[in-house]
Amino acid sequence: MRKYDAPVTQLRVALAQTNPTVGDLRGNADLAVRHVREARKAGAHLVVFPEMFLSGYPVEDLALRRSFCNASRAELSRLAVRLKDEGLGEITVVMGYLDAIEGRWQKAGQPPTAPLNAGAFLHGGRVIVRYAKHHLPNYSVFDEMRYFVPGEDLAVARVHGVDCALMICEDLWQEQGPSVYARAAEVGLVVVINGSPYERLKDDLRFELCARRARQVGCPLLYVNMVGGQDELVFDGDSLVVDAKGGLVARAPQFREYLLVADLDLREATSDPTALTPSVDRVVISADPVPGYDPCTPPTAEPLDDLAEVYKALVLGTGDYARKNGFTSTVLNLSGGIDSALVATIAVDALGPENVHVLALPSQHSSEHSLADAEDLAKRQGVDYRVVPISGIYDAFVREVPLHGLAAENLQARIRGTLLMSLSNEEGHLALATGNKSELGTGYSTLYGDTAGGYAPLKDVPKSTVWALARWRNAEAERHGEQPPIPHNTIVKPPSAELAPGQQDSDSLPPYEQLDALLDDYIEDDFGADELVERGHDPAMIDQVTAMVDRTEYKRRQYPPGPKISERNFGRDRRQPITNAWREASTPR
């Protein structure tokens, strides 16, 4: 039984919703010091950073490199000393980092060097206690059983008289996980550090989970999540604080760095800190409660609506991929169609119009309205706009190598891809591919043509969502009294690759609303043909679309990375064999 008659004390906590860079140990430590300094100005007693903040997350196979594990451990110790030297040693800091079990080498079935996804309490220039993540997710984008050894004990640190239990991300999702130990240990505060990637509509699940765990343990809970882009993953922040009954106390805004400060009334610890508790590692950092003070009113940011979330995820992912990989500018082929228009707009919002370069690359089949729409968008957004006709290059090529039909169509796309990558090399821009998830799913793209680029902002965005995002972005501009960035004609005209006279997407693809619904069921949920028929999809369309998806896996393997927004993207989530004779069929074989 829990004791509910313990005295109550105050504690001001600061959740550092921050944007680390994988591998930049010293830079991440610098960022941590800045946030701790800001937290001290806010009067915080406890500052909490996200999962593996010091090393960045996910580190993937860097975790298997002994030199990197050792460097992460050393940087943690240096950070503790540095905080004290800079007058911040009296604040307790919870830091996520990459650790390893000392003196232990690889055992059968375990990763080399026994790496740990770890967190630690820092105070007074020292690393006080360490905790290793117990539950290692091995689904979706997570592959942590490949990289880490699971922890065993719960770390409980007494901070100003309050026993604080530390957990890491997946630990919170387990009904019989460390929360059971935390309840038995009668802790007054649960601290959960997270590297939880963004997916559409995921924030409600997080809040409900935090509320459930707080009620289970019987005390308030802190949930701090990182923010920023890392290759295909986007972390949205959305850090929050809930009380012992699961009620929302404070919430940080999404998709930006933020220091969330909140005052809590917490149960003061009364148990003997030296008492041995099974599976609990107890330490005392500071036993005396803080003197009483007037609490502040914590902020509670409203969650964004669905399209706002998606758009901000795309902007953050694109901007961080560019900056963290040393690019200050981008280049893309602006065709006058909806996909390239949205990519250009995302790039402008991510990096500024002065850093976005667009190329109109018309062929003999390009329409006048497409060129006009491209130029209109460039003027609206103030980007560098160049027109480079490719008809002469095309004619020179086919004089030497005669091509016909689809091969001749694809040559136009490949010429554009070559020019795009050549300017990327010449001028140092990050080349952006403009294809969407619907095209990528069906293989409706040209390998080494419109698949060319270093990053693909719409890789996980279905075509129907592309249109919705374009309308949303224009409406947002109008709401703020600004000119819509995307021309109306670009949004309303029928989509076309314009590689042949009078060509439209509908010539070879089903209507996008029907296609996207089918792709969602087949790709996201892995439904087979019979299940797809039960869900109302046309049998002929099932046969056509699933065959297109299955035979073009080789294209997707060669596509650039792009921000993940769905539950299952083409990339880290979905791993299908390229050589694969299985085909779904809605009719008997």
The one catalytic residue in 51, 170, 199, 268 is 51
Peptide bond into 494 cis (omega under 30): no
3-class secondary-structure state, position 200 = coil
Q: Do residues 394 and 363 touch, judged by C-beta distance below 8 A?
A: yes
| DSSP-H helix ranges across 86-157 | 144-147
Widest Cα–Cα separation across the chain:
89
Whether 179 contacts 217, CB under 8 Å: yes
Query: Catalytic: 564?
Result: no
Structure tokens at 541: 């369309």
Find, among 145, 316, 344, 304, the residue nearest to 231 by Cα. 316
Whose structure tokens read 């109109």? 360
d(CA 55, CA 52): 6
**Has 51 been annotated as catalytic?**
yes
**Helix/strand/coil for 434:** coil
Q: In what order do the strands lie in the sheet with 430-431?
A: 384-387, 356-360, 330-333, 430-431
Could you confirm whether 531 is annotated as catalytic?
no
Residues β-bridged to residue 259: 16
Catalytic-labelled residue, pool 169, 312, 437, 463: 169
Of 75, 133, 170, 564, which residue is the catalytic one? 133
Rounded to whole angstroms, the Cα distance separating 288 from 360 reads: 68
What sign does the dihedral 68-74-77-79 (CA atoms) show? negative
Q: Are 263 and 12 in contact (CB under 8 A)?
A: yes
Distance from C-alpha of 558 to C-alpha of 41, rounded to nearest angstrom: 49
Q: Which residues contact 166 (CB under 8 A, 6 or more apart)?
A: 94, 119, 121, 131, 154, 155, 156, 157, 191, 192, 193
Give bridge partners of residue 48 from the DSSP assignment.
15, 94
Residues with a known catalytic role: 51, 133, 169
